[in-house]
Amino acid sequence: MVFGKLPLPRREKPLAWSQLSHQRVRLLVALSGISFANILIFMQLGFRSAMFSGTTNVPASLDGDVFLVNETSQFLGNETFDKSQLYRAAAVPGVATARPFYYSPASWVNPDNRKTTNITVIAMNPAQPVMAVPAINDQLALVEQTDRMLFDVKSLPSLGAITQAFTAGQDTPIEVQGRKMRVNGTFALGSNIFKRGHIVISDVNYLRLFGATQANQLHAGVIKLEPGANLQTVMAELERTLPEEISALSHAELIALEQNYWAKEPAGIIFDFGTIMGFVVGVVIVYQVLYSDVNDHLSEYATLKAIGYSDGQLLLVVFQEATILAVLGFMPGILCSLGLYSLLSNLTGVAVLMRLGVGLQVFSMTLVMGVLSAAIAVRKLRSADPADVF
């Protein structure tokens, strides 16, 4: 008796636990089935979250209260507007600073194998930081020199062994958009499934890479409000002052714009579909496991019914069984999933996070499904005379 020494009233061992623990191998098979269903669902959710968290990485790490973008822009870097509008925005009451932000793909030649690929360029005025990433802001002085850049260490390996070369002190030039550039520092931001990696450069170097016409076109204006200024009032005033082609978005709206765009892309739809499939298959597995487990004990339940147990009491035993299986199966399921998430993060450079809410959702779904299938399995016992079930 485990609790023999505790001053607790002694209680009967739950029948469900006796039944489950009596057949160890069976229990193990049932638990691995439920764990597998959980892993399946978590992986699909993880892929989906990886896609979305990756896409909003850059907009989410911008440091501002209001963002000016071209009205037709569907995602960050999609469309541009004229730089002169930024000076007009700076004059709007309540605006403390209005800073330029460039976000554009550039060609990139892998220095190791000379293969041409592409990278995404983040450019800003080194005197006017716009990102809430300390590693970038601390090193902005390093990008003021001609043709110098900061490199994201979480970029994909297909861009070349840039980080390793930099740490080893090698100063090999890399061809970016036709110019030879050198790495002066690194930061960690992370890519997403549509982007190979990022570099940070100055607005002056951006002009050198892309020419005056493009340097005059901003992908976003990052606005900070004066203390005490009302966000809604300033946004309304910006919309009124600036030409119609420019929208003023709050930070949340900027992130939502990005999310909505990628969710409607074929890849987004495929990921949503995968999530639904994961759920359906997971639910079917949980149902099968519990149904067969309860079904195997049906004659024992019939015996108990024959000696005077009520349907309600037996239903309780079956619910206990479902709960035990759901809880015990969930634990290895979520542990394996966490391991696979970090493996996936390391392989892709895309952050794959387990959110508490999602974890709880999957757990309660497992539990509800388990209890429901147990109830269905035991229905036979409710309707029939015990003598028919032996």
Partner 1 sequence: MEPVVNIQGLHHAFGKGSLAKPVLIDINLAIQPREIVILTGPSGSGKTTLLSLMGGLRSAQQGSLKILGQELLGASKQQLVQLRSRIGYIFQAHNLLDCLTAQENVRMALRLQPGLSYDDRTAQAIAMLTAVGLGHRVNYRPENLSGGQKQRVAIARALVTQPKLILADEPTAALDSQSGREVVQLMQRLAQDQSCTILLVTHDNRILDIAHRIIHMEDGRLIRTESPTAAAV
Binding residues vs partner 1 (CB under 8 A): 9-13, 15, 18-19, 21-23, 299-300, 303-311, 385-388, 390
Q: Nearest distance from residue 316's CB to partner 1, in Å?
A: 12
Nearer to partner 1, 356 or 387 (CB): 387
> Smallest gap, in angstroms, from Cβ of residue 295 to partner 1?
16
d(CA 77, CA 62): 13
Cα angle at 138 between 135 and 139, to 5 degrees? 90
39 in Cβ contact with 223 (< 8 Å): no
Q: Which is nearer to partner 1, 128 or 292 (CB)?
A: 292
Closest Cα to residue 351, out of 25, 46, 7, 44?
Answer: 46
Treating both helix axes as pointing N-terminal to C-terminal, what angle do 24-55 and 15-22 enclose, rounded to 10 degrees? 100
Lookup result for tokens 């508490």? 356
Which residues, 6+ apart, have CB-to-CB distance to 138 below 8 Å? none
Rounded CA-CA distance 137/343 in Å is 30
Q: How far is the CB of 289 from partner 1 (least distance, A)?
A: 18
Q: Measured from the CB of residue 17, what is the shortest distance to partner 1 in angstroms?
A: 9
Comparing CB distances to partner 1, the nearer of 99 and 305 is: 305
In contact, 199 and 131? CB cutoff 8 Å: no
Q: Considering the complex, what minimum distance in angstroms separates the CB of residue 300 from partner 1?
A: 5
Nearer to partner 1, 8 or 252 (CB): 8
Token reading at 175: 């061809």
User: For residues 171 and 385, which CB has a smaller minimum distance to partner 1 in the complex?
Assistant: 385
> Contact at 8 Å (CB) between 390 and 300?
no
Smallest gap from residue 254 Cβ to partner 1 (A)? 60
Nearest to partner 1 of 12, 171 (CB atom): 12
Q: Are 356 and 312 in contact (CB under 8 A)?
A: no
The DSSP secondary-structure symbol of 12 reads: P
